[in-house]
């Protein structure tokens, strides 16, 4: 089954063509990074306007790369939520227009299901059940995945996402946007135990996360120590701040592993690229005999291949969406 995937939930305009939900024939992505960089975060209105300009060229590019004619497509998968409403509507409208004109089915995919299933595009995929931790700029959610379409949410962030903690921390430290890579780079040369930042809800029974207090703690730290001190110890501050995020994520993951007795973990989302998190996760895995899976970087961040992979599973089960389907910015999984 040849399926075109479309992803436009935030600031990436992406398309991909998949054969049988497994084989990527082509994928293309237009990043809006350069547009939002000056604002230190995604500006929804600018995002949707840019999607509108780029969606058709991105779709044409991916079809040309795949060497396919439109008529050869057998289905369309598109992100219907969660995300920014204006951005979502651009992808969804394009998907509906194509499905209608080509007279083929389409399916509105939950973006989070896409992240959870991205690992199935790799050669080495996990067995069920596994624990799926989605950590990105917009999400921090932990799922027990018992099978395709069998998801149980164990916890999620009560405020900021893990990526947001990196981005806001980097902004306070003057390291630019997006902040994850900057803190990762800076922190790799610092001492993670140099300063102490809070690990929210560490001893609580809940598997929920919280990161907004961490950012506030960093602001207070900066006010107390002053700019010259912080600049002089920037690598140690970045490493210590990063350690608090990593500790918080691993603490809840360890709790979930003990509770569910599932020794298999998949990490995805942009924050899964963090080198300290990967190293600490590997240590934990070696110590506790866990299997850990990280999708390739381009499958960790927002992409249309994961949407096509998830959508194909539904389409193959005969599930389709009506042309009246609306985007849902708060769609739950």
Positions in the binding site for Zn ion (CB under 5 A): 136, 302
In whole angstroms, how close is the CB of 333 to ligand KG4 at the nearest point? 14
Cis peptide before 272 (omega within 30 of 0): no
In whole angstroms, how close is the CB of 290 to ligand KG4 at the nearest point? 21
User: Which partner, Zn ion, ligand KG4, none, binds residue 50 by CB below 5 to 8 Å per kind?
Assistant: none
132 binds ligand KG4, rule: CB under 6 A: no
List residues bridging with 253 in a β-sheet: none
54 neighbors 82 (Cβ within 8 angstroms): no
50 binds ligand KG4, rule: CB under 6 A: no
In whole angstroms, how close is the CB of 186 to ligand KG4 at the nearest point? 11
**Direct distance between the N- and C-terminal alpha carbons of the chain, in angstroms, rounded to an integer:** 25
List residues bridging with 278 in a β-sheet: none
Q: At what angle do helices 44-66 and 85-102 cross, to 10 degrees?
A: 30
Residue 225 or 278 having the CB closest to ligand KG4: 278
Measured distance CA(231)–CA(239) in Å, rounded: 13
In whole angstroms, how close is the CB of 225 to Zn ion at the nearest point? 34
Measured distance CA(130)–CA(266) in Å, rounded: 7
Measured distance CA(261)–CA(154) in Å, rounded: 13
Q: Considering only residues 15, 271, 306, 315, which one is a binding residue for ligand KG4 as defined by CB under 6 A?
A: 271
User: Which partner, ligand KG4, Zn ion, none, binds residue 166 by CB below 5 to 8 Å per kind?
Assistant: ligand KG4
86 binds ligand KG4, rule: CB under 6 A: no
User: Which partner, ligand KG4, Zn ion, none, binds residue 108 by CB below 5 to 8 Å per kind?
Assistant: none
Q: Which of residues 135-164 bind ligand KG4 (CB under 6 A)?
A: 136-138, 163
List, as one string, the DSSP characters of 133-146: EEESSS-EEEEEEE
Q: Which of residues 9-28 bind ligand KG4 (CB under 6 A)?
A: 10
Cβ neighbours of 226 (radius 10 Å): 10
Binding footprint of ligand KG4, residue count (CB under 6 A): 19
Residue 8 or 242 having the CB closest to Zn ion: 8
Residue 243 or 302 having the CB closest to Zn ion: 302
Measured distance CA(273)–CA(135) in Å, rounded: 10
Give the residue among 110, 157, 155, 116 at the shortest CA–CA distance from 265: 116
Question: Pattern of binders to ligand KG4 over 292-331, x per CB under 6 A?
Answer: ---------xx-----------------------------
Measured distance CA(95)–CA(86) in Å, rounded: 15
In whole angstroms, how close is the CB of 269 to Zn ion at the nearest point? 6
306 neighbors 118 (Cβ within 8 angstroms): yes
Segment lying near ligand KG4 (by CB under 6 A), choices 19-27, 209-217, 223-231, 265-273: 265-273
Residue 236 or 302 having the CB closest to Zn ion: 302
User: Where do runs of H (alpha helix) occur along the chain?
Assistant: 33-36, 44-66, 85-102, 111-117, 162-172, 179-187, 212-225, 227-232, 234-260, 275-288, 297-300, 304-316
Segment lying near ligand KG4 (by CB under 6 A), choices 18-26, 90-98, 145-153, 270-278: 270-278
Q: Considering only residues 7, 50, 160, 167, which one is a binding residue for ligand KG4 as defined by CB under 6 A?
A: 167
Sites of contact with ligand KG4 (CB under 6 A): 10, 136-138, 163, 166-167, 178-181, 184, 269-271, 273-274, 301-302
């Amino acid at each position: 089954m040849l399926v075109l995937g479309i992803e436009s939930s935030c600031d990436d305009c992406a398309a991909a063509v998949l054969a049988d939900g497994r084989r990527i024939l082509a994928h293309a992505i237009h990043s809006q990074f350069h547009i939002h960089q000056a604002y230190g975060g995604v500006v929804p209105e600018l995002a949707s306007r840019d999607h509108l300009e780029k969606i058709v060229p991105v779709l044409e590019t991916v079809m040309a790369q795949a060497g396919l004619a439109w008529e050869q497509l057998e289905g369309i998968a598109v992100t219907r939520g969660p995300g920014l409403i204006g951005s979502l509507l651009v992808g969804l409208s394009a998907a509906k227009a194509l499905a209608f004109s080509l007279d083929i089915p389409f399916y509105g995919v939950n973006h989070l299901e896409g992240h959870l299933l991205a690992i199935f595009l790799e050669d080495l995929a996990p067995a069920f059940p596994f624990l799926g931790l989605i950590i990105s700029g917009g999400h921090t959610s932990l799922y027990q995945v018992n099978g395709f379409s069998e998801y149980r949410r164990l916890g999620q962030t009560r405020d900021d996402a893990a990526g947001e903690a990196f981005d806001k921390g980097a902004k306070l430290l003057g390291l630019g946007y997006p902040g994850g890579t900057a803190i990762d780079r800076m922190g790799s040369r610092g001492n993670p135990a140099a300063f102490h930042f809070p690990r929210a809800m560490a001893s609580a029974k809940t598997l929920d996360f919280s990161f907004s207090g961490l950012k506030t703690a960093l602001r207070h730290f900066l006010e107390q120590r002053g700019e010259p001190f912080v600049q002089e110890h920037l690598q140690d501050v970045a490493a210590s701040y990063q350690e608090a995020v990593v500790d918080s994520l691993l603490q809840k993951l360890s709790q979930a592993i003990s509770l569910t007795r599932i020794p298999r973990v998949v990490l995805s989302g942009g924050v899964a690229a963090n080198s300290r998190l990967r190293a600490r996760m590997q240590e934990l895995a070696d110590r506790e005999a866990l299997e850990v899976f990280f999708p390739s970087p381009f499958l960790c961040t927002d992409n249309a291949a994961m949407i096509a992979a998830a959508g194909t599973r539904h389409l193959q089960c005969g599930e389709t969406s009506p042309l009246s389907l609306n985007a849902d910015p708060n769609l739950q999984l």
